[in-house]
Amino acid sequence: MRPVPSGTTVTRRFEPTARDTAAAVGNVGVDVVATVALILRIEATCGELMAPWLATGEASVGIRVVVDHTGPAVAGRPVRVHACVTGVDGRKVKFAVRLEQDGREVMTGEHVRAVVDLERFLRSDAGSGGAAAKPSADARVNASTVSPPGPPVTFFFDVHSPWSYLASTLIGPLAGRHGASIVWRPIHLANLMERIGGMRPLEQSRARVAWYEQDIVDRMAHHGLPYEPHPDYPLRPSRALRACVYAAERGCADAFVRVVMRGYWFENKDISDVAVLQELADAVGLGPRPLTEIVVDPDYKLAVAANTDDAIASGVFGVPSFLFDGKLYFGSDRMDLLDAALRGWTG
């Protein structure tokens, strides 16, 4: 198992059916989604997040579930499952989880998974292998053990932005300190700016442009971040953005976005080249689909456009931007305010 970075997040969507209701499992007349059905989705989502980090022959198994079922969910409407890695202890990985339907929380809590050697685990004597081989021993539902995490942090970014490069290195540790999940939303900044008539820093006065360019260098140095813009800047970001959507789906956004950003803003990598993107994807275990498929898949093109639409609807006017608990935070230099908001969140 390769170490799973704290702050790694994934969001998955599923649409419960009548088979998922409490009534379907014997609680007559209670036509809302059963607790156990939601827990199964938590397991599936967290297991999927861990998959890219596992070695050949390994699997992850759930060993602990502690949740509050805070509101009813109904069949026929999508439920979103947010999971964020909050800690790694050897071969055990802890997640903060939160489920929402129609923007309303329905479940929140904690899940722990352990990495096992699958062949050994499946043998009849697997129960003698210790805690990691006994996934059900500590599994329980408890309405008071865990303090619910806050709402997820939505991170709007474009690989085309050096400030997004900086923010992409900071948001994971920041959210991880508070057990918050991250929703990674790549957007097409140029399209957003065109639609809202936004300010383009490099089209301002000569004095302001000179200050702006020096400020970027100073900020990167302040954070110890290597910075050497690509000699052919600007490169077309569309393919990289679509790949970032796929990475978010696969629970690999944190790692993939950071290697793409570093490649573009320091290593002079051509992020418009699919072969280069595939090399970066391979470096962080992003798969199984090749990026040659992803970058031409209309669903991922539409996903970037939808993210951009949602950003505009949310009042975003530039990147990086963060939404938390209904409030917009703009710029890597405002992340201290986001940090304070997460620290002070009380629900």
pLDDT at 189: 94
Q: What is the pLDDT of residues 213-256, one digit of tens each?
A: 899 999 999 989 999 989 988 899 999 999 999 998 888 898 99
- Distance CA(154)–CA(341), nearest Å, equals 14
69 is catalytic: yes
The reply to whether the predicted model has a pTM over 0.75 is no
- The SS3 call for residue 216 is helix
Query: Out of 43, 100, 110, 249, which one is annotated catalytic?
Result: 43
Q: Which residue bears the tokens 């704290």?
A: 6
| 92-101 vs 79-89, strand pairing mode | antiparallel
Q: What is the pLDDT of residue 146?
A: 36
- Where residue 122 falls among pLDDT bands split at 50, 70, 90? confident
The SS3 of residue 340 is: helix
Give the domains, in start order, of the chain with CATH numbers: 9-133 (3.10.129.10), 153-344 (3.40.30.10)
Active site (annotated) includes residue 111: no
Determine the average pLDDT of the residues in 272-286.
Answer: 94
Say how far apart CA 106 and CA 35 lie, in whole Å: 10
Least confident of 3-12, 21-30, 53-62, 118-127: 118-127
Among 8, 9, 45, 69, the one annotated catalytic:
69
Backbone angles phi, psi at 17, to 5 degrees: -115, 180
The answer to whether 198 and 318 are in contact (CB under 8 A) is: yes
Sheet holding 79-89, edge to edge: 9-14, 79-89, 92-101, 104-117, 58-68
What does DSSP assign to residue 319? S
Of the candidates 35, 58, 105, 279, the residue annotated as catalytic is: 35
Please tell me the distance from the alpha carbon of residue 46 to that of residue 15, in angstroms, as a whole number. 17
Whether the predicted pLDDT of 141 surpasses 70 = no
Q: 154 an active-site residue?
A: no
